[in-house]
Amino acid sequence: MAALETWLRTAERVLWGPGTLALLLGTGAFLTVRLGFLPWRNLGWALRSVLSREARRGGEGGVSPFAALMTALAATIGTGNIVGVATALTAGGPGALVWMEVSALLGMATKFTECTLAVKYRRRDRQGQPYGGPMYVMADTLGRPGAVLGAVFALFAVGASFGIGSLTQANSISAALDTAFSLPPAAVGAVTAALALVIILGGIRGIARVSSVLVPAMAVLYLGAGLAVILGNWRNLPQAVGDLFLCALSPRAAAGGAAGSLLTSLRWGVARGVFSNEAGLGSAAISAAAARTDCPARQGYVSMTGIVFDTLILCTVTGLAICASGVLGAPEARGTDGAALTILAFSTVLGRTGAVLVCVCVTLFAFSTIIGWAYQGETAFGYLTGGRGLSLYRTVFALTAFWGAVVQLETVFRLADICNALMALPNLLCLLLLSGTAAKEARNFQIRLKAGGRK
């Protein structure tokens, strides 16, 4: 067992080393330029479009664009927004938050490209429901090598769905409810598994309906609490913001005992940013492919806004709350990390209520990740099996949530990280090879926008 753990630790370090992080940032930068900076130039339009009444309308042959985005956000808005940010700040110093934002800005082009291509090359089932994802894009455009890459992507997407999508999220729910209310893990696991199964048996429409309510509600709850903490520590805010940029570009020691060099901040910021918004992993493209839309690029822009809500807003609020509270690097917080550090920060203004709110938000965020990843993993599983055995997948997926709530999962966490990296590599290769196709879709849609097609 020790040998397996050592091998997994080595594989994780290699797969999420400087090479992969450089590939993620480099792909984002290349696509941003290749697309003529259109993801940045059209961000205002994209945000207005997401919040419009048109984006919420359902219809035959797919879910609404808003529901598709909420399903993708259900999978990406998770414990990484609370735990991951705290971990990045502890290991990489305050500057890690700046690099998290930089990776998000570059990741918008990546998310736009993968979601646009997924809609362009999607399929339809017998009921007319659209479905797709990077595996179908690879198979349809890259010939026999593409079929192999698609199978590799789908295999590790299924692995990631069980690891990061079910087991680890249920474990986070169990730990949070035990901390806040002393609830027994077995009971928490049983309820989590049962609720998840009821929702995912309804397919994409059932998942989208729940996500469209749950995701906005939990985001507003967490944002309200986070902003209260920031405002309660407003005198520390200018110094905190200054430290963010100073530590991001300076070799001086960081708070929390980390080296805090530029490279350390960059590594942790990019890594946690990717885990938060999943730009480049290809998972969000699976949800995007189910959207009812008249143009691939339109849904690409809608899906791209998920990075704004996930990283540029939620992660920023978490980071600023921790930095402004003064707990990062404080003697009483030495050795504190993850959710415990966020709880400590929220408690500076909200007291015991802050601790309970963080635990409740961890629970909601983790459960939304479970149901969001259920659809994405199911679609990848269907690609591998030709659409067979989906009911079996749904049942096993829900049962793993029960298992995750009652056991220690350090090895599973490492396996999930490895699966994420092995999803990203074929997906990023596909995006680079098909960047011209995505750029053409973006230019054609830009013509429509200029002609008055902004609604």
Domains of the chain: 16-450 (1.20.1740)
With b for 16 or more beta-carbon neighbours within 10 A and e for fewer, the 287-316 pattern comes to bbbbbbbebbbbbbbbbbbbbbbbbbbbbb
Which positions ≥6 away from 369 have C-beta within 8 Å?
74, 75, 76, 77, 78, 79, 164, 165, 169
pTM: 0.89
Distance CA 132, CA 169 (A): 25
Q: What is the predicted pLDDT for the residue at 70? A: 81
Phi, psi (degrees; rounded to nearest 5) at 215: -65, -50
Q: Give the length of the chain.
A: 455
Alpha helices in 289-408 (DSSP H): 296-307, 316-325, 338-350, 352-385, 390-406
Q: Are 239 and 329 in contact (CB under 8 A)?
A: no
**Which pLDDT score, from 0 to 100, does residue 107 have?**
94
Predicted local confidence at residue 51, as pLDDT: 80
The reported pLDDT for the residue numbered 431 is 96
| CB-based burial, 106-118: b 16+ in 10 Å, e otherwise | bbbbbbbbbbbbb
pLDDT of residue 316: 92
Q: Please give the structure tokens belonging to residue 416.
A: 């999930």
Task: Give the DSSP H or E segment for 209.
Answer: helix 203-232
Q: Which amino acid belongs to residue 120?
A: K
Q: Round to whole Å and give the CA distance between 290 and 133.
A: 9
Structure token pair of residue 214: 């749950």
Which position has the token pair 């806004």?
305
Per-residue confidence in pLDDT tens, the chain, 455 aa: 567 678 777 887 788 778 888 899 999 999 999 999 999 999 999 998 888 777 666 555 566 777 777 877 777 777 777 877 888 888 888 888 999 999 999 999 999 999 999 999 999 888 888 899 999 999 999 999 999 999 999 999 998 898 888 888 888 888 888 878 888 989 999 999 999 999 888 877 778 788 888 888 888 899 999 999 999 999 988 988 888 888 877 655 444 444 456 777 887 888 888 878 888 889 889 989 988 888 999 999 999 999 998 899 999 999 999 999 988 877 766 766 677 888 889 999 999 898 899 888 888 888 988 988 999 999 999 999 998 889 899 999 988 888 888 876 666 667 777 888 888 999 999 999 999 999 999 999 999 888 875 44
Residues pairing with 130 in the sheet: 124
The pair of structure tokens assigned to 195 is: 């609720």
CA-CA distance, 7 to 303, in Å (whole number)? 36
Rg of the chain on CA atoms, in Å: 21
Backbone angles phi, psi at 326, to 5 degrees: 85, 5
- Burial (CB < 10 A; 0-12, 13-18, 19+), residue 282, is buried
Q: Which two tokens stand for residue 358?
A: 């963080």
